[in-house]
Structure 1
Amino acid sequence: MSSFFQEKKRNNLRDFLNVAGPMGVTHFFILSKTATSSYLRVATTPQGPTLTFKIHEYSLAADIARSQLHPRCPKDLFKNSALIVLSGFVSGDPPLQLTTNMFQNIFPTIDVKTVKLSTCQRIVLLNYNKDTKLIDFRHYSIRLQPVGVSRRIRKLVQSHQVPDLRNLQDVSDFVTKAGYGSESEADEEAATVTLSSDIGRVNRASTKSAVKLQEVGPRMTLQLVKIEKGLCSGEVLFSEYGKAGGKGKSDDEMQGEEDSDGDEDEEDQDGDHPEDSEDKDQDLD
C-alpha cells in the first residue's frame, strides 16, 4: 500500500511517520548526502531505534542491469518480500547484534513447511567483514532450471510462441541443433533441490531443479557509524567516531568528526562514487 503514497518535497519525517501506521510501514530507509559522503539510515517506526550507515560504495540497479548480457527482472519479481541471508554477523557484539535484529525484522519470517516456493523469488545477502567492519549488501533474483532438460526444450515450453520450423526437416532437428546438447546448462555448478510443488511451466513437483541467483541490485558497501535510541533522534547507543551516550548528531556534524579523525572516503572501485551524481541517492530502492 505504501508504494502508492505520493510524497512531496515539502513533506518532512513527521508527515511520513503519521501515515506509517495506517499503511503498515514498519521501517524507514532514509538517504542523505554531505559534501563528501552519503549515508543510509534504517529506522524502526514509530519509536526507533535508528541505525546510520556510511555508504562507501554503491551501484544502482540500472548499473547492474547494464553490466549484464541478459538482465532479468520479471514483472512480478517484487510482488512478494525477499528472503534475508546474514553472513559473518556473530553474536556478542551489541551493535552488531542490534544490526542483525534490525535486518531480520525488516523481512517477514517464513515457515519452511508451509511456504509457497513460487513466492520465493528474491534474496538479500548481507555479509559482514569483521576485519574491515564493512557490510556488503547484495540483492539477487532466484530462478530455477530443471535438471536434465536442454536449453532448447526449456525455452520451447516457457515460450508462448510457436518457433520457426520452416527450414527443418523434422522436429528432432530443432532439439538436436548444433550448439545445444541434451544436458541442462551448468547443472554441476549450481545447487540442486527437489521441488515440493510446481513452479512455472517447466519446474514440476518431485523433480530436481538447479537453483541459480542473478543480481538485480542495488549493490552497496556499508559501515555502521551510529545507533540512536529513538527515530532519528535520542540517546546515542553507539558511535564509530565518538563516545556513546550523548545526543544524536546530524550527518554533517558526524562527518566533521570523521574528517577530524583522519578517516578519508575510499574511492569506489566497482560502482559509482556517491559524489558523481546528486540524484543517484534517490534510486537505491
Structure 2
Amino acid sequence: MARFRNKRKPFVRQITRKQPSVDHVTGDKIPKSFVFSRGKLPGPLRQLQMDLRKLMLPFTALKLKEKRRNNLKDFLNVSGPMGVTHFLILSKTDSAPYLRVARTPQGPTLTFKINEYSLAADIAQSQLRPRCPQDLFKNSPLIVLSGFGTGEQHLKLTTIMFQNIFPAIDVNTVNLSSCQRIVLLNYNKETKLIDFRHYSIRLQPVDVSRRIRKFVQNHQVPDLSNLQDVSDFVTKAGYGSESEVDDEAATVSLATDLGRVNRASNKSAVKLQEIGPRLTLQLIKIEEGLCSGGVIFSEYGNHGSYKNQKTDDEERENEDDRDEEQESEEEKDNGVEED
C-alpha cells in the first residue's frame, strides 16, 4: 500500500524592504549615485571611473557591473528601486573625454569636457607621505564651490547640481569626526574652466611638537637611550617641515574633543592633503532632460538650434548607443545572454 507523506511547506523568509534613507537636515532622500561609462574607455579612464566611484562613497555602487548591451534605460530602471538620484557618466570620443552629471529620472544633464585629469594613484606617487586612512571613505565629503556667484543662469544650475549631489550637513549638529574629506570646485571666469579637487582633512594641535604628537597618537614608548634627560626629547622636537608652521588663519577652536590629541580647550590647525582624482572641466552644455531634451545652455551658442548643430563626436556617440540598443534587442529576441 502506498505511503503518503505530509509534505511540509518550505519556509519562505519574508523580505522587508528597507525604507530609503532620509536626510535629517533637508528631510529629503539622501542622494545616491551611479558612476558608469558609455562606450569603450581606455585604461586610464577606466581607473578614473573607479576613482570617481570611491570619491562618491559611501552612497554609491562601488562594484557596479556593466555589460556592453546595457543602455541608459537599464540603469534608469534600476535606479528607482535603489533610490539613486544622480548619474555620473564617462565617455570618450576622438577629440576628448567627457563627463555628464545628470539628475534622475527627468534631468537636467550637465555635460563637461575633461581637458586634463590626474588619477588618485598619480597624486599619491607625487607626495612624500601620502595619507589614506581606512575610515576615510565612511562618510560623504564636504562640498565647497568658489567663483560660481556671477549671476549667470548656467552657473546657478551647476551650483545647484553639485550642492545636491552630496548630503547636506547641519553645522550645529554635525559630528566633527565625520568631516574627513572635502571636494573643491573653483570656477575661473577668464578661462571658463572648473578645477575639481579632492582633499583629506586632518587636524593638528597648535604649539605641540611633532614627537609629542606622534607619541600620543601611536602609543609607543620613545627611544630615550641617546638622551641625557627627558626634557631633551621635548625641546629637540620640532615641526617636520616649514609647511607645518602655525598660521592664525588656518587655526580653529574645536567645540568638542576630537581624538587623543585635538582637545576643545586648545587650538588646532586645519591641514588639507590632496588625495585625487584631479580634473579640469569645461561646461559644454546643459539639457533639460536625462541626456536629452531642450538645450538650456550651450558653450557654442544657438541654444534653440543646437539640436541641428551637434558635433561629430556627439553624433558618433549617439550612433554607438543606437548600435548597442539594436544588438541588445536582437540578443533578447534570439534568447542570447552574455556571461
TM-score after normalising by structure 1:
0.81
Give the 3 Å change call, closer, same or farther, for CA 180–212 of structure 1 in structure 2. Answer: closer
Name the residue aligned to 2:66.
Answer: 8
SS of the aligned residue for 1:31 comes to: strand
User: Which amino acid in 2 is paired with 1:194?
Assistant: S
1:234–1:247 Cα contact (<8 Å) kept: no
- CA deviations over 1:177-203 (Å, ceiling 9, x no partner): 46669xx94112761110001212211
Root-mean-square deviation (Å):
2.5
Name the residue aligned to 1:144.
Answer: 203
Greater RCO structure (CA 8 Å; 6+ sep):
1
Give the 3 Å change call, closer, same or farther, for CA 255–154 of structure 1 in structure 2. Answer: farther
Q: CA deviation at 1:127?
A: 0.8
TM-score after normalising by structure 2:
0.69
User: Which amino acid in 2 is paired with 1:92?
Assistant: G
Q: CA deviation at 1:247?
A: 3.8
Name the residue aligned to 2:273.
Answer: 214
Give the 3 Å change call, closer, same or farther, for CA 197–179 of structure 1 in structure 2. Answer: closer
Pairing 1:97–2:148 present: no
Give the 3 Å change call, closer, same or farther, for CA 180–133 of structure 1 in structure 2. Answer: closer
SS of the aligned residue for 2:215 comes to: helix
Give the 3 Å change call, closer, same or farther, for CA 59–180 of structure 1 in structure 2. Answer: closer
Of the three residues 313, 327, 330, the one matched with 1:252 is 313
Equivalent pairs: percent with the same residue?
Answer: 77
SS of the aligned residue for 1:76 comes to: helix
Q: How does 1:73-112 map to 2 (within 5 A)?
A: 73-112=132-171
Aligned residue pairs total 254
Taking the aligned partners of 2:234 and 2:107, their CA distance within structure 1 comes to 58
User: Which amino acid in 2 is paired with 1:18?
Assistant: N
2:239–2:245 Cα contact (<8 Å) kept: no
- CA deviations over 1:14-54 (Å, ceiling 9, x no partner): 22222223333221111111112011100111111000001
Taking the aligned partners of 2:249 and 2:129, their CA distance within structure 1 comes to 18
2:253–2:264 Cα contact (<8 Å) kept: yes
Name the residue aligned to 1:46.
Answer: 105
SS of the aligned residue for 2:136 comes to: coil
User: Which amino acid in 1 is paired with 2:313?
Assistant: D
Pairing 1:205–2:264 present: yes
Runs of 5+ unmatched residues, structure 1: 257-285
Q: CA deviation at 1:166?
A: 4.2
Structure with more helix by fraction: 2
User: Which amino acid in 1 is paired with 2:278?
Assistant: R
User: Which amino acid in 1 is paired with 2:67?
Assistant: K
SS of the aligned residue for 1:96 comes to: helix
Taking the aligned partners of 1:108 and 1:92, their CA distance within structure 2 comes to 24
Largest Rg, 1 or 2: 2
SS of the aligned residue for 2:61 comes to: helix
Pairing 1:164–2:223 present: yes
- Higher alpha-carbon deviation: 226-235 or 198-207: 198-207
Runs of 5+ unmatched residues, structure 2: 1-58, 318-339
2:144–2:185 Cα contact (<8 Å) kept: yes
Name the residue aligned to 1:186.
Answer: 245
Taking the aligned partners of 1:84 and 1:178, their CA distance within structure 2 comes to 36
